Structure 1
Amino acid sequence: MRQITQKNHRIDILEGLRGLAALVVFLYHWLLGFFPQFSGLWPDFPKEQAWLGRWGFFFINGSGAVVFFFVLSGFVLSRRVLLTYATETIGEAALKRWPRLAFPTCVACLISWVFFATGAYYYPSAALITHSPWLGGFAGAAGLPSQRLLTDAFMQGLWDTFFSGNAYYDSSMWTMHYEFIASFMIFGTCLLLVVYRNLPQWISVFPVLIITLLCSSVSPWYPPFFLGLLIAFLLPERLKVSKVTRIILASLGLYCLGYFNSDGLRIHGYT
């Protein structure tokens, strides 16, 4: 792998893809909450109404979008280090990672606490209208806050959601646990690749694959981060792709985003 000194490693198209993935997640949650019969996740609704397997399912495949976010995160966290060999950036990124993630989670938890404290949540009543098990369970949250203390909400946003995975004030924060833990695994793997940068790429890939396999035994949500790292490691800095290749890759990506099986689509808390 060649040492590259270019300072600007931003890939603008990834920002657009990030926005599209966020829109997919929003549409998916909207579907689960207000049109659960189309999700194909619950046996109480006729299977013929489900959108699973139909054209355009990738537009509401929230789980697939989350996987994309994790791949993108692994890519972004490792790309600069693997291009410049600047190991000091690993320490800087590690120190910033917790505050950068904790600020939005604290805000979300505190806002949710205000809604609980003032009785402004009406999800049980809304679930009776939409017949959504997901909405009735506070958006798939694994439990609800028992004491609903301000300090409990603050500590969940600051600490608990990252180290314990609890997200009962805002169920969408379950991804933060994996983002946080995987970040440091990515940093450590990047350091390993930089130390042994003089080895051929095909040899360096093997320890990454072993680490990925070990992490997959803990949770299936960790491998996407390492896929992003491998892309960052193997992808040349300057890569010219023809229009035909772009169309093929885009079509393949959409197919994977719309993939499903007879057991349903895996999402957090449901299968």
Structure 2
Amino acid sequence: MSAQSKKNIKWVEGLRGITSALVISTHLARALDFPLFWPADEKDGPPRLLQIPYLRIPWQGRLGVPIFAFLTGFVCAAKPLKLAYQQGNQSASLMTVARSAFRRPPRLVLPAVIATLISFVLSILGAYTASNRCDSFWVRFDAPDPLPLGANFRRLFRALLDTWTTTENVYDRHQWAMRPLLIGAFQVYIVLAATIGMRFRYRILVHILLVAYWLLNTGPLTETFGANLALGTLLAELSQHRPTQNFIAKYQRILSYVIVPILLLIGGYVGSYPHEHEDWAPWSLRLHKFLVDPAGDGSRGSFIVPRGSNAGRRTSAFMIQCVAVSIFLSPSLQNLLSHRLLLWLGHHSFAVYLTHGTILRTLGMWIVYGISGQPWVDPGRNEDGSPKEPNWLHPKSRGHKVASIIIFTAVTYVAAWAWMKWVDTACARATQWLEKKVFDDDEGAEGGKAGLAEKGYANGGPSREHAQPLLNGGEARVPPP
């Protein structure tokens, strides 16, 4: 049996599962222990265990969205490329691209709208009072401010629109990544459609050039989305290429036990670069001088962190790229990520992404600060009319924080299970209905006839070859005797 036929792609779902756990962990850190994003609690102070390199990675954030971008590039390309490679059917591959492109917007937009509506209802009911008054700046920023009912409805309309235009959604700010991921999927579809007829070496060249372009581009989020999307498409190509897979199988031992550990160690160390205060620890200051400011005067950067780019996102993107290549090269990692627990987590990952923020800002904060948001005193305004700094609510105790973490995590995954069982299933059925309504199904008699009739052929025609075009009067044109 060839390496091609044994290829394992279940790891994709497993990696999604880990990503959903990373999203939860980083948002818990932001809400309840923001100094975890720093290399130490104070300058020259001793670091806590979860602040040292490698161990800090799950809490410091910046990883979830780049992984989703990589997986989007890989998954969107996998099926069309499989058709093109294994079956040699370019027409079927292009049709798969068309159908996937049609399904992608409703499969993202419909669940996102429902999640926003749930948060909107909670806002009307005053469920975010504790979040609006707590001492966590990040939680206050994430929670929608109270408004009169009419203004709340107007804000809802803006949020539903802005999610897909400016990425701003005050009811669920975590949806900021939805628009770039949707655009990224269509970038993949365009690349596939444009290169499906090329020879293998030139398609690979296109993908490599796209990765390089996005890495050299210092615009916002280019490394997070553009580069990782292109890398996902590149690895999807190579996963279908038999010589590449045979090479990996031949040198599996050295790749899995030498190359992959080196990649993970380097990527993990670079990816540990802190959110801020990089000068508070020797290791992070060395990283800063090596990657971000080698000259010491801000005049130049490095290949990993070009001058003018976001150092935190660049270092995290580099780590994800190392992880992606490592998984691609190591069947052992792929089998590990195919564990049934990770597959279950991966199946619910999108639901976790949509539900966890609302649960954290309500139930999670209720446990830590209380439901009522009391005691609370309106601070009033200064003489110049500016608002005074309020006396924000403080956590009840460390035990309440621990309880909040446990209960919030459990409730989030229960909610994700319920979401997938009812909400996501309904959205999938609606999308499937739309697809059947819109697409001309050549394999179905009714769909094929309706499609041909729309194009001006008599009675839909028995086939495309024998279909008769209609004249203006409705009669079929027949050849002269």
Give TM-score, length-normalised by structure 1. Answer: 0.77
Alignment of 1:218-257 (within 5 A): 219-220=221-222, 221-222=224-225, 223-236=227-240, 239=245, 240=249, 242=252, 245-247=255-257, 248-249=259-260, 252-253=263-264, 256-257=267-268
Deviation at 1:169, TM superposition (A): 1.2
Give the match for residue 266 of structure 1: 312
Cα distance in 2, alignment partners of residues 67 and 164 from structure 1? 19
Q: Secondary structure at the match of 1:163?
A: coil
Give the match for residue 156 of structure 1: 159
Cα distance in 1, alignment partners of residues 116 and 23 from structure 2? 19
Give the match for residue 59 of structure 1: 58
Residues 1:35 and 2:45 are matched in the alignment: no
Count of aligned residue pairs for this structure pair:
252
Deviation at 1:208, TM superposition (A): 3.1
Give the match for residue 95 of structure 2: 88
Cα deviation code 1:113-169 (max 9, x no counterpart): 1121111112133x32xxx32112126xxx869765346436634x43123212211
Cα distance in 2, alignment partners of residues 54 and 204 from structure 1? 35
Output the amino acid matched with 1:30: L
Residues 1:106 and 2:113 are matched in the alignment: yes
Residues 1:177 and 2:179 are matched in the alignment: yes
- Root-mean-square deviation (CA, aligned residues, Å) is 3.4
Give TM-score, length-normalised by structure 2. Answer: 0.46
Structure 2 vs 1, CA of residues 57 and 96 (structure 1 numbering), >3 Å: closer, same or farther? Answer: same
Q: Structure 2: give runs of 5+ residues left out of the alignment.
A: 85-92, 277-310, 314-481
Deviation at 1:31, TM superposition (A): 0.7
Structure 2 vs 1, CA of residues 153 and 71 (structure 1 numbering), >3 Å: closer, same or farther? Answer: same
Contact kept in structure 1, 2:82 and 2:240, CA below 8 Å: no
- Please identify the structure whose Cα radius of gyration is greater: 2
Identical counterparts, % of pairs: 23
Moved more, 9-18 or 114-123: 9-18
Cα distance in 2, alignment partners of residues 145 and 97 from structure 1? 33
Give the match for residue 119 of structure 1: 126
Deviation at 1:109, TM superposition (A): 0.6
The structure 2 residue matched to 1:194, chosen from 184, 193, 196, is 196
Give the match for residue 76 of structure 2: 77
Q: Report 1 or 2 for greater relative contact order, CA contacts < 8 Å, sequence distance ≥ 6.
A: 1
Structure 2 vs 1, CA of residues 193 and 153 (structure 1 numbering), >3 Å: closer, same or farther? Answer: same
Structure 2 vs 1, CA of residues 144 and 97 (structure 1 numbering), >3 Å: closer, same or farther? Answer: farther
Q: Structure 1: give runs of 5+ residues left out of the alignment.
A: none
Contact kept in structure 2, 1:106 and 1:156, CA below 8 Å: no
Cα distance in 2, alignment partners of residues 171 and 254 from structure 1? 33
Contact kept in structure 1, 2:69 and 2:184, CA below 8 Å: no
Structure 2 vs 1, CA of residues 233 and 134 (structure 1 numbering), >3 Å: closer, same or farther? Answer: same
Q: Secondary structure at the match of 2:163?
A: helix
Cα distance in 2, alignment partners of residues 210 and 251 from structure 1? 22
Residues 1:136 and 2:140 are matched in the alignment: yes
Contact kept in structure 2, 1:156 and 1:166, CA below 8 Å: yes
